[in-house]
Structure 1
């Protein structure tokens, strides 16, 4: 068998990428055919099997409980695993010791990034970013202002006839200065269009929510084939399937996050946990789609995530496990 150091770098890279791809597939919901193909792939080469064990070791260094979480988070972990494998691929016979140390560092760093900075790549595309537990009001170049909720990211640009904000993640409250230029907020698969008004846009796992405080906004689907107009005190959701019907909303409740509270009525548990997670140090993972879709109502403190999670647990009755001090796993 050829050693790793005698193979061309392109071949090593290919094997490592295949190992990562198999890791993500086998930690999802592999079919019987997937399992057979995976076994054939491992048996085809000792290097294949070795590369896969290296990937397992990379994630395994986090914790045994983390391996269970990996099944739900495998796609998000892929970028970190690839970064680790790039470090390992650079090892040579002359620096095996240094390479081993670098690999261990990459393993720890990769898990640290997944726990505390899962959006670090996305942040490179943003002009404004808030950290966990940070709320901040920003004056945009056009004179409008935006208040970003914790762990949110926004990009902004202006042309001769357009002002455009892109909410990459999180929640933002816009107070738009009146102008002859159109003001748009893009988020996921849709756009909110205004001239001068005050409203919020929330990016959730499945939907984008728009709440209007004053003025008027038009919400459009990605292909602009569907649209709806909001009046003050109204809300609307949209996703890849299109734009929902307009609903009334209690504005004070919708904007309670600006004062450190989370008020919700018949919301998905996953969306509520996601919002609490913006203020939590580390990661909170909800295991299973049935639990994630469970409908909950309540009024929780965002600035005390332990109290918020305890209140949710008492209401829903889920089990909650803490892995070290950086990972909380919620399951039935």
Structure 2
């Protein structure tokens, strides 16, 4: 009896759709376009995956174009104002215009201010927009509350249940099963059978907060798992898993209802959370300022007030260049 080819999983189909889409963005040949067209027509699931990829592209490229059009004058004025020398007027004008063109090209090609993670979104199966929290139902019946500006890739079959968190944070309500449920991050993994827990990515680490059940947290650099209990939180990175600490779950998971509470957190991490709930970008060039520790709580519904509160607490300088660009400095 001749062996049959295995049926590709949903994750494999989505990966193939992403591959074809990227090929077609890079001056494809007539044969490549024809091959992609045949692949799309060969199965309804292929066309469905293709449409999903196109939707991600539209969600990023179009707003980036609109943003560039809207902010062109403001950016040009800002760049001209930065030119404090007394060179001739036409030289100054050329510098300002050239700087504006460079900035606008950046906006147009990557939608950087509007959505700096648009390339990463291509590898994701679920993506939330800035300021959006949404519930995602998985194939096994588990549910995920995805925080704003977050993304994950999922691969659930009868043999395994895996979610790779690519960006941001999420709350997992996992249906009990004999098949382990694993949340993968660049720093390590969280393994459960059925429970409720938060996972949040930071710069080079991640944090797990457990509401119910138990989870096993392992680091890429420390394979031996650390078990945490309800009401505990643990940070982990490629270097290892830290000692679990007890936390107030209402505070730790307050983001579910739009409130962010933090204790001795890095300013950079706090500003990143604020940035998830506003359009554009917040830039903090100073590494020293980024490492300052802050404590507080604020509503995520008004990010301007949140930034003002942080400024009053830390004392940094805040420059709102446009509605979509804020620079924080010492």
Per the normalisation by structure 2, the TM-score is: 0.68
Q: Are the aligned partners of 2:300 and 2:306 in contact in 1 as well (CA < 8 Å)?
A: yes
Q: Are the aligned partners of 2:181 and 2:193 in contact in 1 as well (CA < 8 Å)?
A: yes
1:226 Cα deviation from its structure 2 partner: 3.5
1:224 Cα deviation from its structure 2 partner: 4.9
1:227 Cα deviation from its structure 2 partner: 2.1
Structure 1 stretches (4+) deviating beyond 3 angstroms?
A: 60-65, 102-108
Question: Does 1:247 find its partner at 2:245?
Answer: yes
Q: Are the aligned partners of 1:188 and 1:203 in contact in 2 as well (CA < 8 Å)?
A: no
After superposition, the CA RMSD in angstroms is 2.3
Q: Hey, what does 1:315 align to over in structure 2?
A: 313
SS in 1 for 2:243: coil
Q: Hey, what does 2:209 align to over in structure 1?
A: 211
1:212 Cα deviation from its structure 2 partner: 0.2
Give the alignment partner of residue 188 of structure 2, picking from 187, 190, 211: 190
Per the normalisation by structure 1, the TM-score is: 0.68
Q: Are the aligned partners of 2:152 and 2:167 in contact in 1 as well (CA < 8 Å)?
A: yes
1:187 Cα deviation from its structure 2 partner: 1.2
Mapped partners of 2:77, 2:129: distance in 1: 23
Give the alignment partner of residue 160 of structure 1, picking from 123, 134, 158: 158
For structure 2, the residue ranges without an aligned partner over 5 or more in a row are 1-74, 83-100
Q: Hey, what does 2:326 align to over in structure 1?
A: 328
Question: Does 1:142 find its partner at 2:134?
Answer: no
For structure 1, the residue ranges without an aligned partner over 5 or more in a row are 1-59, 68-101
- The Cα offsets for residues 254-304 of structure 1, whole Å up to 9 and x where unpaired, read as 110111111011000000000000001110111211100100000111110
Map 1:38-187 onto structure 2 (within 5 A): 64=79, 106-110=105-109, 113-187=111-185
1:162 Cα deviation from its structure 2 partner: 1.4
1:63 Cα deviation from its structure 2 partner: 5.5
1:306 Cα deviation from its structure 2 partner: 0.2
Assess, with a 3 A threshold, how the Cα gap between structure 1 residues 124 and 228 changes in structure 2: closer, same or farther.
Answer: same
Mapped partners of 1:331, 1:164: distance in 2: 40
